[in-house]
Structure 1
Amino acid sequence: MFKKILIGNRGEIACRVIRTARAMGVSTVAVYSDADRHGVHVRMADEAVHIGPAPAAESYLVAEKLLAACQATGAEAVHPGYGFLSERASFCELLEANGIVFIGPKPRAIRAMGDKIESKLFAQKAGVSIVPGHLGVVEDADTAVRIAEEIGYPVMIKASAGGGGKGMRIAWNAGETREGFQSSANEARSAFGDDRIFVEKFIVDPRHVEIQVLADSHGNAIHLGERECSIQRRNQKVVEEAPSPFLDAATRAAMGAQAVALAKAVDYQSAGTVEFIVDRDRNFYFLEMNTRLQVEHPVTELVTGIDLVEEMLRIAAGETLRYAQDHIRLDGWAVESRIYAEDPFRGFLPSIGRLTRYRPPQEGSAGEITIRNDTGVREGSEISMYYDPMIAKLCTHALDRTAAIDAMGAALSQFEIEGIEHNIPFLAALMQHPRWREGRISTAFIAEEYPDGFERPAASAATRRKAALIAVSIEIARKVRLDRHIDRLREHSGTARREWVAKIDDDYFPVAVDAEAGEGARSVFEMSLDGATSRLTTDYRPGVSPWSGTIDGVAVTAQVRSAREGVLLFLDGLWLPCRAMTPRIAELDRLMPVKLPPDTSRLLLCPMPGLVVSIAVSEGQAVKAGETLAVVEAMKMENILRAERDLTVASLKAKPGDSLAVDAVIMEFA
């Protein structure tokens, strides 16, 4: 086994590899850019080497800098993680030429499978079913349109060197094909230095199901079952699970056998993933093979008990695979939620800034539930515009799918993040979505269920009831604290008050406190609301989050944030403004006028911090609804800003190359 390895990556995956290496007694070397100087992975590793400026093209993507770091520290091998140089055959060859082991497959396999066009040609020759399409490089937008019309719409436009959802567009007509071709090429050139594009048929209502494989240098190869990755947004996976709720045993066996056959055909050596598209009738088609560790690998680890990073290290060190196919068992169910720095209420646009609060749920096993949180940040970390916006991967494991989903919902309710926008409200709402819970999903799920973007769903009657009871308990706790510190307020503080009104959103709920007692450090309340009595217990202390306790014997957790009036509660996946007050104050509160937001209908505001790539209009130009106004790049993704209605451009306030903050004015309309 290696004595020292270098991790050629950053953030969450670098931390993930370091944890396994440490458990194996292997020393680690981290690399970091200017933006990651204080990164968690830098502190976790035994050594760290600075490799350049923040842009990945000047640091993490420069193979020679990683080689120099190996030579300076004596690292015997490099684990590339995912992204960056993980699927670059030339990087593997550079290391091998200098006597350093690449912890992954050999260059031949990377070349054959890492390129989307070449991999499909190889798979076709190996007898693997592939999606109909044009297996060649598309030179320009006109050619893309011609090919798309020959194949038949809809089509998928893909960057040959793409990955992680970058450089991919779905087109339903010629106009979208032209626009998608250019955007895909631009994204691929920026992220991968390779703007080759190909076009294939888009399967309607597809499921994205992938098979995890392990193969060694001695001719042994197995699969570890499948992962369902159909919950996607803009071709970027959001939620994954293992196993798939859709596959039957026969389909699973057939897909696994094909994946293993492909791995053997290409002489694969390491952990890898064969991705398939599965249609409504469980027909499956080869999509691509990722010759690296996948972001979603933890769900496979949770259901198999196998540490994939450890196996990668052992295989790279020349060891024989420790498992045969009949050793593999899928136990229970695992779900992974990707926590992203993005605003789900503004079209999931990226968010950057400092994590002023970062408190993930407690990791570990309790009863039949396991919680795992893979992350590369801590409280105080900076979310940079230069890299992927993923903050963490929250995973839960339970005996069955429903229990795993319920555990995920509870864990998301406990996950506290402040300082940036994030997608936890969307993920929490998704865990309650009937279609998701029933497993009736496809890669179009988000587009179909949220065609106009994600908006906060209305709170259910049960959620509002819980919020009202919790709000009153919080206000009583605050009054009690005042009593203890200011004796002269005791008479008027309201701690003995029976009648309360809880305002949840804009609704008012009369709450009667029938009884209050203490059980050690816990407070016990008997409360009446809408003619029903509930027993609430909690050990909540003012200023502390989250609120935890029980309501009618059921455990409840709610994040608590101070607000100008009352508190904000994150409960059942929703942020709810809550305020507990006396009946008289509630009566007056109903008379208060509502403050209207400012009118921004005549402005195009930058929806996220980013770089202006292009301005598509000029001053005085009349544009139609749907036309492109500007393109803004953030976190390696191009975002096209379109006109919401017919209008005329009055003035331009930004130009290509400008770096803009969120809500900066790009242009004004007449």
Structure 2
Amino acid sequence: MFSKILIANRGEIACRVIKTARRMGISTVAVYSDADRDALHVAMADEAVPIGPSPAAQSYLVIERIIEACRQTGAQAVHPGYGFLSERAAFAQALEAAGIVFIGPNPHAIEAMGDKIESKKAAAAAKVSTVPGYLGVIEDATHAARIADEIGYPVMIKASAGGGGKGMRIAHSREEVKDGFERATSEAKSSFGDDRVFVEKFITDPRHIEIQVLGDKHGNVVYLGERECSIQRRNQKVIEEAPSPLLDAATRKKMGEQAVALAKAVNYDSAGTVEFVAGQDRSFYFLEMNTRLQVEHPVTELVTGIDLVEQMIRVAAGETLAIRQEDVRLDGWAVESRIYAEDPYRNFLPSIGRLTRYRPPAEGTTDGVTVRNDTGVYEGGEISLFYDPMIAKLVTHGPTREQAIAAQADALDAFALDGIQHNIPFLAALMRHERWKAGRLSTGFIAEEYRGGFEGAPLTPGLARRIAAVAAVIDNIGNARKRGISGQLPGRTVTFQHRRVVTLGGRNLPCEVDRSAGGFIVTCLDEAGRPAGTHEIHTAWKPGQPVWQGRFDNEAIAVQVRPKLNGFLLSHAGVTVEAIVYTEREAELAALMPEKVTASSGKQLLCPMPGLVVSVAVGEGQEVKAGEPLAVVEAMKMENVLRAERDGVVKKVLARPGDSLAVDAVILEFA
């Protein structure tokens, strides 16, 4: 067994590998770019080596610098994580030439299956059913359009060396193919150093299901069940679960055996994933094979009890798999949410900055339910524009799918994160979506259910009463604390009016708050002042704590609390709403206050996210039509095309290619 390994990656996956290596008694070496000098994985590792500037192409993707870091530290093996160099056969070959073990599959398997084009050729040769497509070299955008015409729309344009949704576009017409080809090749070059793409038929209403395989260097391969990864946005997975609510035992066995056969055909010898696109009738087609650890591997670990990172290390050290197919059991259900630095209220645009607050829910197992949080950040750390926007992977496991989902919803409500925009409200709302809970999934789920974008979960009457009652209790606790500060009014009994008016987003909800033995009784009132519901609330919350936790009518709930001028910003169940608690007289006076009118920015093109200007497509004095591209901004390795919302004339161009812009920076002005 190795005594020291190097992790050629960053963020949460580097931290994840370090945890297992530490448990196995193996010392670790981290590598880091300039942007990651103060990153969590650097602090966690036993040693750390700088490898270059912030852009990945000048640091994490430079093979020679990784090998030199191994030489400096005496690392005997390298775990590549996922992304970066994890699926580059040249990296595995270079390590082998330097006498360093690659903790991953052999170079032949990577070449055969890691490349998306070559993997489809290998699958076709092995008589595996594949999606119709064109696997040759595509010369240019016009060539791609001709291919798409022959295959039939819609089509998928995918980076050959891709993963994580980078270099991937869906096109429904020739024009979309041409634009998508340019974007996909550019993203592929930036993210993977390889601009090759291929085109294949896009299956409508599909599900994305993948089989986890594990092989050793002695010809043994097993499959560890499946993961459902159908909840995606822009081809990037958002929610994963294991097992899949679609599959039955017969289909699972058929998919698993096909995945094993494919792995054996290329002598696969590590953890890997065979991905399938599945129809609602349980038909399935080979999609690709990822010759690395997947982002979503924790859900498989929780339902099988198998540490995949440990198995990868043992296989790389030459050990024989101790797991036989008959040993594999799927226990319970696991759900994973990817927490991203992005703004769900602004079409999920990336967000960067400092994490002024980072308080994930407590990890551990209680009453048969497990909460796990894989992360690579910490409170006070920064989210950089140079890398993937993932902050953490929140995973819950329970005896049933319903329990795992309920635990995930509760954990998301208890996840306090400030300083940047993030997708926790969206994830929390999704966990309560009836279609998701029913398991009626497809890769088009988000586009179909949130056609106009995400605007928050609906504030239903029941949810409004719950949030209003919690706001009233928060106000009551705060007032009690104020009266007791510094021994004010010693020896005197203070009486106060217990009726309050809670304003939620401009809607008034009157209520009465009374203290009971160890808690509160909150009575909600209708517009006429009549009781409309009474709730018993117990909590140990103290002012200043970012998450209010307690029991609402004997149900455990969590509400995130952010103080605002004269009130709070409360987040619960996917709803984020401003709450102000008034006395009745204050509410009467507040109703007389004029509303603020915000200034219009209709004659400006604002940068919707912090990013780098790739190109500006228009000049001063140019007429533009609605829908025409105006500029391309890159953020976190994704290119975003900004288009005209209406017809107009460009008055002034304020940004140039190469400029680094903050959110809401002005790019163009219109006449």
TM-score for both structures, normalised by structure 1: 0.98
Aligned equivalents of 2:329 and 2:335: distance in 1? 17
Q: Counterpart of 2:451 in 1: which secondary structure? A: coil
Cα deviation code 1:124-144 (max 9, x no counterpart): 101111000111111111111
Partner of 2:310: 310
1:491 to partner: Cα distance:
11
Match of 2:628 in 1: 627
- Which residue identity is paired with 1:200? E
Output the CA distance in 1 between the equivalents of 2:493 and 2:376.
Answer: 45
Q: How far apart, CA to CA, are the structure 1 residues paired with 2:297 and 2:90?
A: 25
State the AA in 2 paired with 1:369: V
CA distance in 1, matches of 2:494, 2:359: 33
* Counterpart AA for 2:525: L
Say yes or no: does 1:615 pair with 2:611. no
Match of 2:19 in 1: 19
- Give a deviation string over 1:463-504, Cα, whole Å, max 9, x none: 111111111111111111121126666999976322111111
Query: Which moved further from structure 2: 586-595 or 139-148?
Result: 586-595
Contact 2:522–2:535 (Cα < 8 Å) also in 1: yes
Q: Closer, same or farther in 2 for the Cα pair 1:556/1:494, shift >3 Å?
A: farther
Quote the residue 2:83 is aligned against: 83
The 5 Å alignment of 1:338-349 reads 338-349=338-349
- TM-aligned CA distance change 1:314 to 1:487, over 3 Å: closer
CA RMSD of aligned residues (A): 1.4
Q: What residue number does 1:374 align with?
A: 374
Shift in CA distance, 233/526, structure 1 to aligned 2, threshold 3 Å:
closer
Whether contact under 8 Å (1:351, 1:420) holds in the other structure is yes
Aligned equivalent of 2:523, options 520, 524, 527: 527
Matched, 1:581 2:582: yes
| Residue matched to 2:605 | 604
Structure 2: gaps spanning 5 or more residues: none
Aligned to 1:516: 515
Q: Distance in 2 between matches of 1:50 and 1:539?
A: 45
* Contact 2:465 2:524 (8 Å CA) reproduced: no
Residues 596 and 491 of structure 1: CA distance in aligned 2, closer, same or farther (over 3 Å) = farther
Contact 1:482 1:489 in 2 (8 A): no
Trace 1:294-333 onto structure 2 (pairs within 5 A): 294-333=294-333
Whether the 8 Å CA contact 1:228–1:243 is kept in 2: the answer is: yes
Q: Helix, strand or coil for the counterpart of 1:556?
A: strand
Distance in 2 between residues matched to 1:233 and 1:579, nearest whole Å: 35
Verify: 1:662 aligned to 2:663, yes or no: yes
With over 3 angstroms needed to count, the CA separation of the structure-2 counterparts of 1:443 and 1:498, relative to structure 1, is same
Q: Which residue pairs with 2:216 in the alignment?
A: 216
Q: Give the equivalent residue in structure 1 for 2:111.
A: 111
Contact 2:303 2:334 in 1 (8 A): yes
> Is the Cα–Cα contact under 8 Å of residues 473 and 520 in structure 2 kept in the other structure?
no
The aligned residue for residue 404 of structure 2 is: 404
1:206 aligned partner: 206
Measured in 2, the distance between the counterparts of 1:47 and 1:656 equals 39
Provide closer, same or farther for how the CA distance between residues 601 and 494 of structure 1 changes in structure 2, counting only shifts above 3 A: farther
1:267 to 1:495, Cα distance in 2 relative to 1, 3 A: farther
Classify the secondary structure of the residue corresponding to 1:577. Answer: strand
Rounded Cα–Cα distance in structure 1 between residues aligned with 2:561 and 2:283: 47
Match of residue 174 from structure 1:
174
Provide the residue aligned with 2:556 in structure 1: 555
Preserved contact between residue 483 and residue 493 of structure 1 (Cα < 8 Å): no
The correspondence of residues 111-190 of structure 1 with structure 2, limited to 5 A, is: 111-190=111-190
The 3-state SS of whatever aligns with 2:6 is: strand
Aligned counterparts of 1:355 and 1:554: Cα–Cα separation in 2:
31
- Deviation per residue, 1:72-110 (Å, 9 max, x gap): 111110000001110111110111111110000000000
The change in CA–CA distance for 1:495 and 1:377 in structure 2 (over 3 A counts) is farther
Structure 1 match to 2:441: 441
* Aligned 8 A contact 2:511 2:522 in 1: no
Deviations 1:529-557 (A, max 9, x none): 34222211122211222111112111121
**For each residue in 1:616-664, what CA deviation from the matched residue of structure 2 results, as whole angstroms up to 9, or x when unmatched?**
1122222221111110001111000011122221211111111111000
Aligned residue number for residue 428 of structure 1: 428
* 1:457 Cα deviation from its structure 2 partner: 2.9
- Secondary structure at the residue paired with 1:247? coil
SS, match of residue 160 in structure 2: strand
Which runs of 5 or more structure 1 residues have no equivalent in the other structure? Answer: none
Letter matched to residue 636 of structure 2: M
Partner of 2:469: 469
Q: CA deviation at 1:451?
A: 1.9
Q: Is the 8 A contact 2:11 2:376 kept in 1?
A: yes
Residue in 2 aligned with 1:245? Answer: 245
* In the alignment, structure 1 residue 458 sits paired with structure 2 residue 467: no
Letter aligned with residue 265 of structure 2: A
Equivalent residues in 2 for 1:469-508 (5 A)? Answer: 469-485=469-485, 496-508=496-508
TM-score (norm 2): 0.97
Equivalent residue number for residue 49 of structure 1: 49
How far off its partner does 1:242 sit? 0.4
SS state at 1:191 partner: helix
Q: What SS is found at the alignment partner of 1:587?
A: helix
Q: Is the 8 A contact 1:480 1:495 kept in 2?
A: no
CA contact (8 A) 1:538 1:548 kept: yes
1:524 CA displacement: 3.3
Render the CA deviation track for 1:7-61: whole Å, top value 9, x for unaligned: 1111100000000000001111111111111111111111111111111111110
Report if the CA contact (8 A) 1:409-1:573 is conserved: no
Q: Is the 8 A contact 2:469 2:522 kept in 1?
A: no
1:447 Cα offset (Å)? 1.1
State the Cα distance separating 1:571 from its structure 2 match: 1.5
Q: 2:572: which partner in 1?
A: 571
Identity of aligned residues (%): 64
Structure 2 letter corresponding to 1:375: T
**Aligned equivalent of 2:651:** 650
Residue of structure 1 in register with 2:362 after alignment? 362
| Structure 1 residue ranges (4+ consecutive) displaced by more than 4 angstroms after TM superposition | 486-495
Is the contact between residue 34 and residue 54 of structure 2 (CA under 8 Å) also seen in structure 1? yes
One-letter code aligned to 2:147: I
The one-letter amino acid paired with 1:568 is L
Return the alpha-carbon distance in structure 1 between the equivalents of residues 35 and 550 of structure 2. Answer: 41
Cα distance in 2, alignment partners of residues 409 and 26 from structure 1: 36
2:641 is aligned to 640
Q: In the alignment, residue 156 of structure 1 is paired with which amino acid?
A: M
